[in-house]
A and B are shown apart, each in its own frame.
Chain A
Amino acid sequence: MIDIQSLDLFYGEFHALKNVSMFLPEKSITAFIGPSGCGKSTLLRTLNRMNDMIKTVKIKGTVTIHGNNIYEPEVNVELLRKRVGMVFQQPNPFPKSIYDNVAYGPRIHGTKKKSELDDIVEKSLRDAALWDEVKGDLKKSAYGLSGGQQQRLCIARALAVNPEVLLMDEPTSALDPISTLKIEELIQQLKEKYTIVIVTHNMQQAGRVSDQTAFFLNGEMVEFSETDTIFSNPVDQRTEDYVTGRFG
């Protein structure tokens, strides 16, 4: 479904992604792993063009989603980001009510009817496994929630615009183990409806949640295959060193 072909990305002179090619099938979970600074977040951001906001970025190669090249000039970036949602490392809810956080996306995309918004908010919160905890407090500020709840709220906010793809950049690195576990369970459930890409520094997490795993080093994709293969039987020595913790 997502097809990355010979992708190079430069921050000014700095070559941050080197000739990356990979195919992410529909309704699968892909993990990006690799040491800090290897380009995981950068690659993730190329999939919803969040890199556009960084002035120095230059991109070569193509990324197609369902056969549509998302880097063609006539692409509507807002529409792309509606279909390719993103969840960030730090929970970043808006300083608004829980309800308004989730309803934000549908509202800017034109849903006005209260009953429709109510339905979307409930459905998204249910899908993000947060509904039962907040259903009585929808009007309360999102800042009253715990970090883990805030992160699930951010997932609900992303789901509310009905995306096909969900990009998650270290979504649990700011959370405690129990919240982390909840989010991991959630990711597994979301796989039924969404294509998911997750960046993580947590090897166990990659092993637990993902179907395939890509290992990056210095902007290069060293190895990409079934998660089991990457962790138990990698082809490249560097991958093996990294996943067994013998790296650097």
Chain B
Amino acid sequence: MLEKIKEILAEELSLDLEEIGDDSDIREDLGADSLDMVQLVMSLEDEFGLEIENEEIQSVTTVRGIVEFIEKKRG
């Protein structure tokens, strides 16, 4: 899961996989802006077959946080 999320982040934010740490802050360290976040949410929805509200993802800050968020969503 963690690796999959990193792949998605690398793809959406045009980063190398090595640049993305487990605890990297998506906005501060990886430089995602609000439009990148929209793009990211869409990719996560497609990949995991989920519906994600824009507001829900706002409290998620790190790469590991995304994993926890997705796991919780899937129940």
Q: Do A and B come from one complex?
A: no
Chain A contact residues, CB within 8 Å of chain B: none
